[in-house]
Amino acid sequence: MAAQADLERRVASVRRFNRFYTSRIGVLHYLGSDFSLAEVRVLYELAHRTTAPTASELGKDLGLDAGYLSRLLRGFERRGLIARTRSDSDGRRSHLALTASGRAAFAPLGARSHTETAALLSALSESDQERIVEAMETIETVLGGAQAPPPFTLRPHRPGDMGWVVQQHGALYAQEYGWDERFEALVAGITAKFIEHYDPARERCWIAEKDGEPVGSVFLVKRSKTVAQLRLLSVSPKARGLGLGARLVAECEQFARAAGYRKIVLWTNSVLTAARRIYEAAGYTLVSSERHRSFGHDLVGETWEKAL
């Protein structure tokens, strides 16, 4: 009898917490949007996956009924929010990805979720913030949902990030290559133009974080209707060796495909050997090079590109 009573007490506690969590965190981020909570979950997964999943993979990971998920996906297709690409290995299967319209539709939802979560945590002391995170990680681990934590996380840019990108590039390239402040000025101009003309359906900035601190960045910007440009790839020394550079480049390619671009181009310098190895491994081809005098040094500029 005592064991049964203890079980009932625990069940009641879990259900009480579930109601509290859902009302406080799980639902409020998306109230007032045009999407249901299930639709937002699907959009979130497609926006953050590193590889395009199949419908069956998506349904399994989200725990959604196959018929219900199929109806959601058909609705997204009618609205032009997702696209299907036939699998190269199995013609019977297709992979799902957000279109440019889909990413634009999800962008304000993701931003709102981040803002509200940040506001919720900011009202607490740092020690209480850590207690909440540790408790959530414990729940996830015990219930079998947690895997080894990734060495880094990626997120869209937010206010304050452009200043970090400029400072990071200026300091890092001065230290490692001896480039002067004119390179920092160049980066400042690129980031200012990105913010002033930002098109969320066709452009993106990713900021990588490790242990809560920014450690990397990359930009994908519009060159023309069919050509995108990869810019300002950077990885802090403390985050090297984790595969971050390759991941940032892969994110650019995935976004560019979904946005409808047919080619990505980039410009770099021959002395940036680590970056060149990443581009080559990702399938980029060196198409031209020219000598130039910039940032206090004689350099060889290179143009690379990849057809999508």
pLDDT in tens, 40-63: 888 888 887 767 788 888 888 777
201 and 275 share a domain?
Answer: yes
Residue 26: pLDDT band (50, 70, 90) is low
38 and 59 share a domain?
Answer: yes
For the beta carbon of residue 13, count every other beta carbon within 10 angstroms: 10
Q: Is 301 helix (H, G, I), strand (E, B) or coil?
A: strand
107 and 161 share a domain?
Answer: no
CATH number at residue 203: 3.40.630.30
For the beta carbon of residue 266, count every other beta carbon within 10 angstroms: 22
165 and 296 share a domain?
Answer: yes
136 and 160 share a domain?
Answer: no
137 and 160 share a domain?
Answer: no
Whether the pLDDT of residue 263 is over 90: the answer is: yes
Phi then psi for residue 288, to 5 deg, are -165, 160
67 and 97 share a domain?
Answer: yes
133-148 pLDDT, tens per residue? 778 878 877 777 655 5
- In which residue are the tokens 């079998």 written? 144
175-212 pLDDT, tens per residue? 999 999 999 999 999 999 999 999 988 999 999 998 88
Whether the pLDDT of residue 88 is over 90: the answer is: no
Residue 89: pLDDT band (50, 70, 90) is low
295 and 185 share a domain?
Answer: yes
- CB of 252 within 8 A of CB of 205? no
Whether the pLDDT of residue 307 is over 80: the answer is: yes
- CB of 296 within 8 A of CB of 179? yes
85 and 208 share a domain?
Answer: no
Whether the pLDDT of residue 32 is over 70: the answer is: no
**High-pLDDT (> 90) share of the chain, %:** 45
Strands 297-307 and 263-269, how do they pair?
Answer: antiparallel
pTM over 0.75: no
113 and 202 share a domain?
Answer: no
Q: What is the mean pLDDT of the segment spanning 75-95? A: 81
Residue 132: pLDDT band (50, 70, 90) is confident
CATH number at residue 134: 1.10.10.10
Q: pLDDT at position 290, please? A: 96
Please report the DSSP string for 7-61 in residue order. Answer: HHHHHHHHHHHHHHHIIIIITGGGTTSSS-HHHHHHHHHHHH-SSPPBHHHHHHH
Q: pLDDT at position 223, please? A: 95
107-130 pLDDT, tens per residue? 777 777 777 777 778 888 888 888
Q: Is 297 helix (H, G, I), strand (E, B) or coil?
A: strand
Residue 100: pLDDT band (50, 70, 90) is confident
Show Cβ contacts of residue 214 under 8 Å, excluding neighbours closer than 6 positions: 161, 164, 168, 207, 208, 236
Domain count, the chain: 2
Residue 112, domain extent: 32-142
117 and 181 share a domain?
Answer: no
Q: pLDDT at position 85, please? A: 82
65 and 164 share a domain?
Answer: no
Mean residue pLDDT across the chain: 86
Higher pLDDT, 31 or 181: 181
Q: pLDDT at position 2, please? A: 66
Q: pLDDT at position 174, please? A: 95
Q: pLDDT at position 28, please? A: 47
